[in-house]
Amino acid sequence: MKQLKGWAIVSRALNSLFTNLKASRVYLTEVVLSALTFALIYHYFIYPLSLTGIVLLIIFILVLLYFMGKIRTKELNNIINTISAIRDNKLLSVNEISLGKNLSTLQDEIKSMFLKSKTDIDNLKRLERVRTEFLGNVSHELRTPIFAIQGFLETLLDGALEDKNVNRSFLEKANHHTENLNHLLNDLIDISMIESGEMRMSFRYFNINELILTILNEQKPFAEHKGLTLDYDPVRENLKVFGDKNKLQQALVNLIQNAVKYTEEGNIRIIVTEQKQYAEICVEDTGIGIPEKDIERIFERFYRIDKDRSRAQGGSGLGLAIVKHIIEAHGSKVEVKSELGKGSQFIFRLKK
């Protein structure tokens, strides 16, 4: 038994000796050449080497190689363990990666690789969550008008069609919901085109006064219908700005429709101020205003401060998300100033 144990110790020692010597093979040529050069110089210029001296030198070389191999094996094992831990997701923080002073460059590289793959994975998870949330929101928003249309049509088919008091109003309501559905689908198409990078922009100089006056002509009846005034005091006649006219029209229409939607009395004003390099465009209303805490969030897809109020008016909460993308594609940003109960201002700049 004792003999067996002894053999096991010897065989383990031999195994470690061979492994470390094998690991030191990369240094073999350098070590042997240096030792040979040293031996030759010593032999010819200092003192002739005896057989014992040669044997001692060989033993010295072997011991040196053994220790060099030992250090190398330890370092390699450390690298292998670190990489395996990263692969198996066992590392929680970058501080757990430590390869020692000699391998600090490699350690930094592995650390940055670890951080990059961690952020990539986090981003993928976030995208997946956003996608699921988006799908959930879309189905929820689609369900509302579809159920309403279905309800009105079923009631009509069940006999209300013959009832002259309600048949027309039911059809009008069903029709109103198909318009909402259409509005939602158009917004969804726009958002998906924008986010997949398929939105083609066509930038050129155009007359900002002309664009605003065209929009105003279209939107005035809606404002007046609510007893609101929609004003614009044209800026310098020939003021041209640089941008995609159609997309900016879409953004401005969205902002003006919001102003009309969220204002009960007073007026909506479009104000253009000319600056040195920019024209600043502001859509101002005297409406309900936006609470401070919601200002950042209103640009998120489907975010509405008062969901019921917005939905009742056919809003899907995608309008400002589209506006944000369009204005950002022009290298600008929408700034919001608002006071609860007093009104809001949506401001952005365009290059002259």
Ligand X SMILES: Nc1ncnc2c1ncn2[C@@H]1O[C@H](COP(=O)(O)OP(=O)(O)OP(=O)(O)O)[C@@H](O)[C@H]1O
Give the total of residues touching ligand X (CB under 6 A): 24
344 near Mg ion, rule: CB under 5 A? no
Which one among 262, 286, 332, 334 touches ligand X, defined by CB under 6 A?
262
Q: Interface with ligand X includes 288 (CB under 6 A)?
A: yes
> How many residues line the site for Mg ion (CB under 5 A)?
2
Closest residue by beta carbon to ligand X: 319
Look up residue 337 and give its two tokens.
């100033």
d(CA 159, CA 142): 27
Q: What residues from 171 to 200 belong to the interface with ligand X (CB under 6 A)?
A: 187
Nearer to ligand X, 114 or 262 (CB): 262
User: Is 180 an interacting residue with respect to Mg ion (CB under 5 A)?
Assistant: no
| CA separation for the pair 30, 59 (Å, rounded) | 16
Residue-wise DSSP of 73-106: HHHHHHHHHHHHHHHTT---SGGG----GGGHHH
- Of 49-57, 205-213, 240-248, 304-312, the segment contacting ligand X by CB under 6 A is 304-312
User: Pick from 244, 285, 286, 349: which binds ligand X (CB under 6 A)?
Assistant: 285
Q: Residue 219, interface with Mg ion (CB under 5 A)?
A: no
User: Which of 24, 319, 322, 332 is in the footprint of Mg ion by CB under 5 A?
Assistant: 319
Do 30 and 61 meet the contact criterion of CB atoms below 8 Å apart? no
Shortest Cβ 218–Mg ion spacing (Å): 16
∠ CA(297), CA(335), CA(274), 5° rounding? Answer: 165
Q: How many CB atoms lie within 10 A of CB 140?
A: 10
Q: Does 107 bind Mg ion (CB under 5 A)?
A: no
Chain-centroid distance of CA 97 in Å reads 28
CA–CA distance, 201 with 266 (Å, rounded to integer): 35
Structure tokens at 256: 């003006």
One character per residue 222-261, x = contact with Mg ion (rule: CB under 5 A): ------------------------------------x---
Q: Phi, psi at residue 306, to the nearest 5°?
A: -115, 95
Distance CA 263, CA 223 (A): 9
Positions touching Mg ion (CB under 5 A) are 258, 319
Positions touching ligand X (CB under 6 A) are 187, 254, 258-259, 261-262, 285, 287-288, 290, 298, 303-306, 310, 315-321, 344
